[in-house]
Structure 1
Amino acid sequence: MTSREPDRSARRWWALAALTLSVLIVGLDGTIINVALPTLSDELGATSAQLQWIGGGYLLALSVGMLPAGLLGDRFGHRRLLMGGIALFGLASAAGALAGTAGQVIAARAVLGLGAAMITPLSMAILPRVFGKDELPRAIGVWTAATAVGMPIGPLVGGWLLDHFWWGSVFLFNVPVTVLAVVACMRLLPADNPRAGNAKPFDYLGTLLGTLGITVLVYGTIQVPGHGWSSPSVLAPLAAGAVLLVLFVRRQRRTPAPLVDLGLFADGTFRWGSVITVFVNFAVMGLLFVVPQYLQAVLGNDAFGSGLRLLPLIGGLMAAATLAEPLVPRLGARVVIPAGLLLLAGGALLGATTGPGDGYALAAVWLSMAGLGFGLAVVPATSMVIGSLPEDGPGTGTSLLETIQQLGGVLGVAALGSVLNAGYLARLSLPGLPDAAADAARGSVTGANAVAERFHDQALLASAHGAFVHGMDLTLLVCAAAAVLAAGLALAFLPGRSKTEQPARTATATATAQPETPAHAGELPA
């Protein structure tokens, strides 16, 4: 099989399993650590700032590493770099399990982020080499489901591990999975293009500008929860990041060997497909940000139980991944994607009607709707973007797409976190509490729960739960607005048929054209 010819044997589905396994551990590891943070605070004496950087360091390294990962994959081989990223992920997981200080955990998480930055775009870049355009949407659906499923499953797995083993198990869990993934990639994925390596010079200055720009931009967003948007510690890095990224774009336009091909944005399919996936990612990250807190802090579920209650979202996503394949060729991406976005918006709007006394049943309904809409929107949009990439440099395009999505998700969570916090504080009532207890209750609904339990204050508990639900409703309204805006953009700018649908349309046209050939000049068409 050459780099331009997709695999037509049953082996291709095993190859998809290998790619799915690799991105599943990335999605899972992004959230599995969250449930371990209280334990790390107790066991290692981690401060609040260190706990923040255990999550933030991973996010920062992931955001920074994606841009050069695609170009390096195009240059040295996608399979080779993918296996290297998975191996790095496994080694960093082993180091995290053996860490003895909070600083060592932060360092391990940062290296995990670099490994994840190699895995995600390179695994996506391999998909068109394994599957033809007729099967690519189905493969992307499975791949997308794996990336999304890992996020809500992370707390479930983490909660179970912490209930039965020591905190290092949330790291050690990755090691056998990465070993299996490396072996599977080695045995099942197509060999790298032998011409890889005969590429243009590497853009070191562009890499430096892009890395610094993304670093300070993400750093600024990480500071938002603790300092607020108006703080100089937030505004200064955001402004510096914006300036550096402008310089990066100018560099990419002028250099003969750019790190990323900004010319991809001249293609409307890539441009609008990327924009839509950013909006979808924004909305879904908002859901995954507020819902676990609601399930645990308001409804009283533990981490494992909260993970189980996110299964309707996963079920909707899996159903959509199956439905998208037959729907897009029949109706067109311009119909299916907006329909999915509106369904996602409808789910978020239904969730925004949640009241403090509502139970889980309502959440299960709107989470199912949101998952179905998410899948119907993101699978065809991702297929369109991948179908628009050049065959000689798909890694660069997928890295650009993943970087944009990642930055959109980071900024989105910061913005939505501010909406949630503002709504929470606006409704929270703290009469007669000591200053320290009041500050703890203002900090989070979890803190308010602890204060209410300490003082046996049922009024505070009811106020905190009602305030959080109010903040959650406002956050879901913003998510719904983002989905509706994306639906409008899709209707206005997406082509009637995506590039992934062209072979089917061409084949149909050819088949219907055959009877029209004037073999019998006297016949009229039926």
Structure 2
Amino acid sequence: MHRRRWAILGVLMLSLLIVVLDNSILNVAIKTISTPAPTGLGASQGQIEWAINAYTLVFAGLLFTAGLVGDRLGRKKVLIGGIAVFGIGSALAAESGSPAQLIAFRALMALGAAFVMPATLAVLMNVFEREEQPKAIGIWAGGVGLAIAIGPITGGALLDHFWWGSVFLINVPIVIVALALMAWLVPDSRDPRPGRLDPVGVVLSVVGLVLLVYGIIKGGELADFTDPKVLATAGAGVVVLVGFVIFEKRSDHPSLDVTYFKNKVFSAAMAAIALVFFALMGVTFFSVFYTQSVRGYSPLKSGVLMLPLAAAQMIFAPRARLVVDRFGNRATTTAGLVLIAATLAAFATFEADTPIWLLEVIFFLMGTGMAHIMTPTSVVIMQALPREKAGSASALSNTFRQVGGALGIAVLGSVLATSYRNGVEGKLGLLPPALREKAGESIEATLGIAGKLGPQGKALVTPANDAFLHAMHVTALCGTGVALIGAVVTVLFLPGRPTAGQEGQKETELVAAAD
């Protein structure tokens, strides 16, 4: 037992906090970054999707490998290296001069973050004795929830007073403090028998996902999913991913053990996690444009509006196990997915003058649904595999969550872009031909051009809002369908109420699943 273990936990949470915080901060900055220069970068909707997904895909693709590298080289070295790369990426992202630079530097930040996440948990397991581990992991997981809650408000406050790059620059002083404390406090440790690395598998998974997501986002930008470029890129992505699965099946040291998926319960729980994040990430994406562009709220107020989503998760996640004990995994998870579907369907009724308290209620119910999906599915995943596989099962559920979210932003973002372009195109006749293409990209592009045209541009504001609201309704209904598919999967394959034999294990496994 390490005498400074609680101080070490504080340092680990600080490093984890900024990695998670950065993604939730970015959510409220989306509109500002898509505003034309000098306020933002004038990023198109597709470029904004890439700024989010470049991070997510690199992060998800490297999680397994990063854990193995930490086991092999020493967790302290990997932790310090990862947080330093994340800090450098943050400083560069803050000074980006174009959307392409921002996307590249976000990928660099993700490279660092991927090495931080698994190393924090590995160090934690090493400095705490078994009887204190559940408490420490609970606090560690609570840090993730806290970051999700304070991210949008922090981002909003920064954007109200500084330029858009401040949401990235805020990481740098925290990184410097974290590096100094890590060098002083965190002991080094490594696995005496580390697993073998799987570089081919990592490359295939990242390349396959990037090609697939690129094809989907390109289809949204062109408002045509049958374009040869779109079909060729997305098709190539699918082929590479199939190759990845075949390679992993034959490998004796796979980064993704596909034999886990022979277990129907495990597969159903993974599908539920991926589908719920698919639906939710797409909604978070369009809700920012709704609150800021259509309703006219500042980034700070927009961040505060998202608080009920995080508050509900923090209230209900620790108590969800009581619901599982009473009604079982299947009923709890299915009810959570149906609730998510209902909240997404409610978005399809929102107009420019809908009372804002209704949005708050919807966000709170969404967070409640999330809490009653994540807890039971995490427990199911842990119970479906042998205890010694807990680490890889946890990393796998994290990966599926990230990939589901990335595909949600790509697919639902593309539905939003296509629907918006089709709705607004007929109203852009007043504009010179050179500007029409740009103005049809997103509501921010239309409003940005309208602002430069003065009184003549005012005529575009109402059509832009109307086209966006229609596009948001279509996207919300697509998300509803995805959540309902998840509910069908859980009804068919998840186990019912836990048996008496499982009851004793529940507490430990719930905590192990918390990340």
Taking structure 2 as the reference length, the TM-score comes to: 0.81
Instruction: Answer yes or no: is the 8 Å Cα contact 1:26–1:116 preserved in 2.
Output: no
1:264-413 equivalences under 5 Å are 264-386=260-382, 388=384, 392=388, 394-413=390-409
How far off its partner does 1:323 sit?
2.6
How far off its partner does 1:87 sit?
2.7
How far off its partner does 1:357 sit?
2.8
Q: How much is the aligned-residue C-alpha RMSD, in angstroms?
A: 3.9
Figure out how many residues of one structure are paired with residues of the other and give that number. 497
How far off its partner does 1:443 sit?
2.3
Cα pair distance change 1:92/1:266, threshold 3 Å: same
Bigger shift: 9-18 or 407-416?
9-18
What residue number does 2:511 align with? Answer: none
Deviations 1:404-456 (CA, angstroms, capped at 9, x unpaired): 33222222222212332344345445175234454454322223334555345
In 2, the alpha carbon distance for the partners of 1:331 and 1:190 equals 43
Instruction: Answer yes or no: is the 8 Å Cα contact 1:388–1:499 preserved in 2.
Output: no
In 2, the alpha carbon distance for the partners of 1:316 and 1:199 equals 39
Bigger shift: 65-74 or 290-299?
65-74
From 430, 441, 444, give the equivalent of 1:443: 441
Instruction: Answer yes or no: is the 8 Å Cα contact 1:225–1:418 preserved in 2.
Output: yes
What residue number does 1:205 align with? Answer: 200
Instruction: Answer yes or no: is the 8 Å Cα contact 2:332–2:372 preserved in 1.
Output: yes
What residue number does 1:502 align with? Answer: 502
1:34-73 equivalences under 5 Å are 34=30, 37=33, 41-42=37-38, 54-55=51-52, 57-73=54-70
Bigger shift: 362-371 or 13-22?
13-22
In 1, the alpha carbon distance for the partners of 2:296 and 2:267 equals 43
Q: What is the letter of the counterpart of residue 447 of structure 1?
A: A
Instruction: Answer yes or no: is the 8 Å Cα contact 1:70–1:398 preserved in 2.
Output: no
In 2, the alpha carbon distance for the partners of 1:506 and 1:300 equals 47
Task: Give the secondary structure class of the aligned counterpart of 1:259.
Answer: coil
What residue number does 1:493 align with? Answer: 493
What residue number does 1:119 align with? Answer: 116
Answering whether residue 150 of structure 2 is matched by residue 158 of structure 1, we say no
Instruction: Answer yes or no: is the 8 Å Cα contact 1:161–1:169 preserved in 2.
Output: yes
Bigger shift: 417-426 or 374-383?
417-426
Task: Give the secondary structure class of the aligned counterpart of 2:504.
Answer: helix
Q: What is the letter of the counterpart of residue 468 of structure 2?
A: F
Q: What is the letter of the counterpart of residue 377 of structure 1?
A: I
Deviations 1:360-406 (CA, angstroms, capped at 9, x unpaired): 12211111111111122123323433455655565543443333332
In 2, the alpha carbon distance for the partners of 1:394 and 1:78 equals 19
Bigger shift: 242-251 or 266-275?
266-275
How far off its partner does 1:161 sit?
2.3
Instruction: Answer yes or no: is the 8 Å Cα contact 2:49–2:409 preserved in 1.
Output: no
How far off its partner does 1:79 sit?
5.8
Answering whether residue 219 of structure 2 is matched by residue 224 of structure 1, we say yes
Q: What is the letter of the counterpart of residue 461 of structure 1?
A: V
Cα pair distance change 1:105/1:408, threshold 3 Å: closer
Answering whether residue 242 of structure 2 is matched by residue 246 of structure 1, we say yes
Q: What is the letter of the counterpart of residue 169 of structure 1?
A: S
Deviations 1:155-210 (CA, angstroms, capped at 9, x unpaired): x4334324433554332210232344456667887864552xx3343333333333
In 1, the alpha carbon distance for the partners of 2:326 and 2:185 equals 32
In 2, the alpha carbon distance for the partners of 1:376 and 1:124 equals 24
What residue number does 1:434 align with? Answer: 431
Instruction: Answer yes or no: is the 8 Å Cα contact 2:160–2:299 preserved in 1.
Output: no
Cα pair distance change 1:105/1:442, threshold 3 Å: closer
Q: What is the letter of the counterpart of residue 251 of structure 2?
A: T
Q: What is the letter of the counterpart of residue 352 of structure 1?
A: A
How far off its partner does 1:122 sit?
4.8
Deviations 1:105-143 (CA, angstroms, capped at 9, x unpaired): 554322102112233455567777767797699568635
Cα pair distance change 1:166/1:442, threshold 3 Å: closer
Q: What is the letter of the counterpart of residue 464 of structure 2?
A: A
How far off its partner does 1:478 sit?
2.0
In 2, the alpha carbon distance for the partners of 1:122 and 1:332 equals 33
What residue number does 2:471 align with? Answer: 471
Cα pair distance change 1:291/1:503, threshold 3 Å: same
Cα pair distance change 1:194/1:65, threshold 3 Å: closer
How far off its partner does 1:501 sit?
9.2
Instruction: Answer yes or no: is the 8 Å Cα contact 1:22–1:86 preserved in 2.
Output: no
Q: What is the letter of the counterpart of residue 205 of structure 1?
A: V
Q: What is the letter of the counterpart of residue 90 of structure 2?
A: S
Cα pair distance change 1:35/1:177, threshold 3 Å: farther
Task: Give the secondary structure class of the aligned counterpart of 1:318.
Answer: helix
Instruction: Answer yes or no: is the 8 Å Cα contact 1:161–1:170 preserved in 2.
Output: yes
In 1, the alpha carbon distance for the partners of 2:166 and 2:78 equals 27
Cα pair distance change 1:194/1:248, threshold 3 Å: closer
Taking structure 1 as the reference length, the TM-score comes to: 0.80
In 2, the alpha carbon distance for the partners of 1:452 and 1:201 equals 57
In 1, the alpha carbon distance for the partners of 2:460 and 2:340 equals 33
Instruction: Answer yes or no: is the 8 Å Cα contact 1:138–1:322 preserved in 2.
Output: no
In 2, the alpha carbon distance for the partners of 1:300 and 1:36 equals 12
User: Gaps (5+ residues) in structure 2?
Assistant: 508-515
How far off its partner does 1:270 sit?
3.0
Q: What is the letter of the counterpart of residue 481 of structure 2?
A: A
Q: What is the letter of the counterpart of residue 276 of structure 1?
A: A
Instruction: Answer yes or no: is the 8 Å Cα contact 2:340–2:483 preserved in 1.
Output: yes
What residue number does 2:17 align with? Answer: 21
Instruction: Answer yes or no: is the 8 Å Cα contact 2:330–2:491 preserved in 1.
Output: yes
1:97-116 equivalences under 5 Å are 97=94, 105-116=102-113
Identical-pair percentage: 32
Deviations 1:18-74 (CA, angstroms, capped at 9, x unpaired): 575254334335546535525794389787697776555434433432342233345
In 2, the alpha carbon distance for the partners of 1:345 and 1:255 equals 39
Task: Give the secondary structure class of the aligned counterpart of 2:282.
Answer: helix
**Bigger Rg, structure 1 or 2:** 1
In 2, the alpha carbon distance for the partners of 1:473 and 1:371 equals 20
Instruction: Answer yes or no: is the 8 Å Cα contact 1:18–1:185 preserved in 2.
Output: no
In 1, the alpha carbon distance for the partners of 2:198 and 2:249 equals 12
User: Gaps (5+ residues) in structure 1?
Assistant: 508-526
